[in-house]
Amino acid sequence: MLNYNLPADALTSDLLTFLREGMVRDAATEQAIALVRTEYLKSVAQGAPVSADILSALASFCRDHEYTFAVSAEDEVNLTRLDPARSKVENLMTACFWPIFEEALPLNDISNLRPISNAVSDAVRAQYEESPYPRWRVLPDLPEPDTAANILVAGCGTGQEALIYAKASPHSWVTGLDLSRVSLAYALAQARARNIANVRFMQGDILDVALLEQKFDSIKCSGVLHHMEDPLRGLRALTSVLADGGKIFLALYSARSSEPKEAAIQLRKARNAPATDNGIRQFRQEIFALPTNHPARNALNSIDFYSVSGTRDLLFHVQERYYSVWDVKALVEAAGLRLVRFGIGAKPEQRFRDMGFTDFSDLASWDKVEERHPGTFSGMYRMLLEKV
């Protein structure tokens, strides 16, 4: 995919577009981008002419991947030859390795439901305030706009999902609720950059969602409840603000699909790797350096592995639990909900049909699908729920 014939004039516009809009999703691309950066650094350090446009795109790409790419010994030497104050290209080249200018997030524009009092929620808040997740760059269009008028994205993180719905459905009103003020400020900055105004971002615990004093036609809660101390309490709180006839979209970790990352988590614990940005960068390099048959290398198959905050979410989480389809059944029923549909997503649906099943809310069928294809829910169990 990438043209290694550097420097700049050999680069294709595809690469420039990728640097402006893309995200790394696999080890080969990460290594290729690190090599591109090394080659540019060499050119800049030698005083060769280099396009500022490319360096600007590369700098924002490295920033959005939280400077997670390996810095080689050659890079270290060449970096000592740069003076970011001397020229624009040296400035931009330096910005490919560490932040030289931090844009202030609109932290003071995020209002608060009430102080977070649950100890687990507070630990989760601290994690996502240090490592807002996920970092994202483009806002995909929804294939079918959601017609719901009042939408809650519970645990909205950095706001991509909330903004997808707000953009697709300009007459809807979207509320994003999250523990992390930093993630919410990131989301608000993204909304402002795109002139999306039918959305608001609030800091608060799902446990306190009733304080919003609203009912919602549609509640989205993706990758969130499994980080709560008591997910059932969380789901009950969401059900209490669901309008009659409304639907909850819920996504939860599958135990079977999460098994492949377990070896990397055990290795992280055995090494006592610190959950700091540098600790995470270093641990990632340790995983890359493992023998190819080491089970901890399974982490390389997750797209979350390719940023610092993603690796933290994947391998360093302060609170997470995993579900079987039967755990999901118990949770949903205890919250007074029923499944409208389970296994939402192209891959699970295809496997479901391939095995001859037809009732998408039948968990016994889904259990058989997952037993045969244990990685089916690597993107989580995704389901639609309604009140009983």
Ligand X SMILES: C[S@@+](CC[C@H](N)C(=O)[O-])C[C@H]1O[C@@H](n2cnc3c(N)ncnc32)[C@H](O)[C@@H]1O
Q: Does 7 bind ligand X (CB under 6 A)?
A: no
Q: Which position's Cβ is nearest ligand X?
A: 157
Rounded CA-CA distance 197/174 in Å is: 9
| Residue 342 phi, psi (nearest 5) | -125, 160
In the bound state with ligand X, the residue whose beta carbon lies nearer, of 263 and 318, is 318
- Judged by CB under 6 A, the stretch of 210-218, 220-228, 258-266, 277-285 that binds ligand X is 220-228
Q: Which is nearer to ligand X, 228 or 264 (CB)?
A: 228
223 binds ligand X (CB under 6 A): yes
Please say whether the beta carbons of 301 and 260 come within 8 A.
yes
Q: Is 133 in the site for ligand X (CB under 6 A)?
A: yes
Interface with ligand X, residue 30, by CB under 6 A:
no
Interface stretch with ligand X, choices 37-45, 62-70, 143-151, 154-162 (CB under 6 A): 154-162
Nearest to 7 by CA among 93, 88, 66: 93
* Polymer length of the chain: 388
Q: Are 165 and 172 in contact (CB under 8 A)?
A: yes
Measure the CA angle with vertex 384, ends 383 and 388; round to 5°: 125
Reported as half-sphere exposure (CB side, CA atoms, 13 A), residue 8 has a value of 17
Q: Confirm if 341 and 63 have CB atoms less than 8 A apart.
A: no
Q: From the CB of 72, what's the least distance to ligand X, in Å?
A: 32
Position among 155, 231, 260, 310 found at the interface with ligand X (CB under 6 A) = 155
CB 35 → ligand X: shortest distance, Å? Answer: 30
One-letter amino acid of 83: D
* Nearest CB to ligand X, comparing residues 42 and 233: 233
What are the two backbone dihedrals, phi and then psi, of residue 76, each rounded to the nearest 5 degrees? -55, -45
Please, where are the H alpha helices in the chain?
Answer: 13-21, 27-45, 52-64, 73-79, 88-94, 119-130, 160-168, 181-193, 231-240, 255-258, 262-271, 277-288, 308-315, 325-334, 346-354, 363-372
179 touches ligand X by CB under 6 A: yes
Footprint of ligand X on 304-343 (CB under 6 A): 313
From candidates 128, 253, 342, 366, binder to ligand X by CB under 6 A: 128
> Measured from the CB of residue 220, what is the shortest distance to ligand X in angstroms?
8
Of 337, 369, 144, the C-alpha closest to 248 is: 337
CB of residue 227 to ligand X, shortest distance in Å: 4
CB nearer to ligand X: give 217 or 313: 313
Binding test (CB under 6 A) with ligand X, winner from 190, 222, 257, 376: 222
Q: Is 121 in the site for ligand X (CB under 6 A)?
A: yes
The residues of the shown chain that bind ligand X, judged by CB under 6 A, are: 121, 124, 128, 133-134, 155-157, 160-161, 177-180, 183, 205-206, 222-224, 227-228, 234, 313
